[in-house]
Structure 1
Amino acid sequence: MLKAELRKKYMQQRKALSRDEAFLLSEHVFQNFITYFKPEPGQKIHIFVPIEKFNEIDTQIFINYFLAQNIRVYVPKVVVDKLISIEVFNDTVFEINSWRISEPVSNKDSGEINFHYVITPLLYCDSNGNRVGYGKGFYDGLFQSISPETKKIGVNYFDPDDFIDDVWENDIPLDYLVTPTDVLSFLSGLE
């Protein structure tokens, strides 16, 4: 299927989930992430803040856990059409931007490129690690700028069932996909 078709299909499926269903599935995704990756204090994790109107995976569960475990947390913010990474702490002040996305008030880019993990938003991911996002290309840009050792991890409610027919040359696939039922690796034994 084409990205536009997949984007529409999975956005509808995601919006059909009740808040309780989405939260329960998010908790399963979180548990699978923790069990598989076993994040440790001092590690650096870049993670998106969920967009409530899009019924995204509730990553606030992850963020709260990471901060409590002294894992360094970085969140994205778009500043002048570029995605920057801002380190956040328990006392970081957030605001709702014009797109209704919660983000830090600060525009200070951490400059960090050596993350252990980048937990990535998406609408869909196929069985090759190719993803369908919102079509802005922000995460492809981020992936190009970070250390090649960083594990790129998608989180989603849905398993990969459809192939993406229009993968572009500049698309950067994920290394892993975490769903409520599984953790899939796309690294072909290179873990």
Structure 2
Amino acid sequence: MTSQASQKQVQRGHAQKIRDGLSVADAASLAADNFLHAFPPSKNETLSLYWPIGSELDTRPLLIKLHEAGVTCALPVIEKKNHPLFFRCWDPEMILQPGPFKVPVPPETAETVMPDVVITPLLAFDAAGYRLGYGGGFYDRTLEKLRRNSRCKAIGFGYVGQEVETVATDQYDQQLDAMVTERDVRIFT
């Protein structure tokens, strides 16, 4: 393991403990409102959100509000290790299925789409717009691929308490365009 990979692993363990200890009343609703204020919904866009697991900030209030506004919403699906994610449409009536890493995903019958905006989970973020993920590289590979072919925006979604001074990065890390928390929205690009 390289020193950079080791540094990231240590930072992940620390960031996970911090996020697990965060509990902010109405944080998911506040963050959803902040998102909608900063990025008014457009029926012409497809947004990918994540289905929350563990202590991730809950995206479901935002998913519902976007769906009610007529926005096409999608959830990421892991095809296999070391590959980019792909995205299937989501609606509130659908029964999600267990996917890899116990992440709920839309059924195989759901339409596959390309998002204009990818809302990402994270363990930590910094003021330069870098996010610390779980180490699988799924979002970084995906964003690199999407940005090659279109102007896909990446927006982090998490607690303000997840901010760190500097996220350990390498040449594969993709910068966020913005970060949404229960307190504010920060634009990086």
Q: For structure 2, which runs of at least 5 residues remain unmatched after alignment?
A: none
Contact 2:43 2:71 in 1 (8 A): yes
Instruction: State the one-letter code of the partner of 2:155.
Output: I
Q: Would you say 1:162 and 2:139 are equivalent positions?
A: no
Match of 1:43 among 39, 42, 45: 45
Contact 2:50 2:59 in 1 (8 A): yes
Contact 1:57 1:155 in 2 (8 A): yes
Distance 2:110 2:70 in 1: 21
Distance 2:155 2:88 in 1: 19
CA gap of 1:27–1:44, structure 2 versus 1, over 3 A, is same
Distance 1:138 1:107 in 2: 22
Query: 1:182 offset after TM fit, Å?
Result: 1.4
Distance 2:41 2:22 in 1: 29
Query: 1:100 offset after TM fit, Å?
Result: 2.7
Contact 1:84 1:109 in 2 (8 A): no
Q: Deviations over 1:21-54 (max 9, x none)?
A: 3x61122111110111111223210111111xx2
Instruction: State the one-letter code of the partner of 2:13.
Output: K
Instruction: State the one-letter code of the partner of 1:162.
Output: E
Runs of 4+ with deviation above 6 angstroms: none
Contact 2:90 2:110 in 1 (8 A): no
Matched residue pairs, number? 179
Contact 2:160 2:183 in 1 (8 A): no
Counterpart residue number, 1:125: 125
Equivalent position SS for 2:33: helix
Counterpart residue number, 2:106: 104
Query: 1:108 offset after TM fit, Å?
Result: 6.2
Contact 1:118 1:153 in 2 (8 A): yes
Counterpart residue number, 2:143: 143
CA gap of 1:78–1:175, structure 2 versus 1, over 3 A, is same
Query: 1:90 offset after TM fit, Å?
Result: 3.4
Instruction: State the one-letter code of the partner of 1:10.
Output: A
Equivalent position SS for 2:32: helix
CA gap of 1:9–1:116, structure 2 versus 1, over 3 A, is same
Contact 1:42 1:70 in 2 (8 A): no
Counterpart residue number, 1:8: 13
1:50-69 counterparts in 2 under 5 A? 50-51=52-53, 54-69=54-69
Contact 2:124 2:133 in 1 (8 A): yes
**Percent identity, aligned pairs only?**
25
Q: For structure 1, which runs of at least 5 residues remain unmatched after alignment?
A: none
Distance 2:33 2:48 in 1: 18
Distance 1:9 1:185 in 2: 25
Equivalent position SS for 1:143: helix
Which TM-score applies when normalising by structure 1? 0.84
Counterpart residue number, 2:74: 74
Counterpart residue number, 1:93: 95
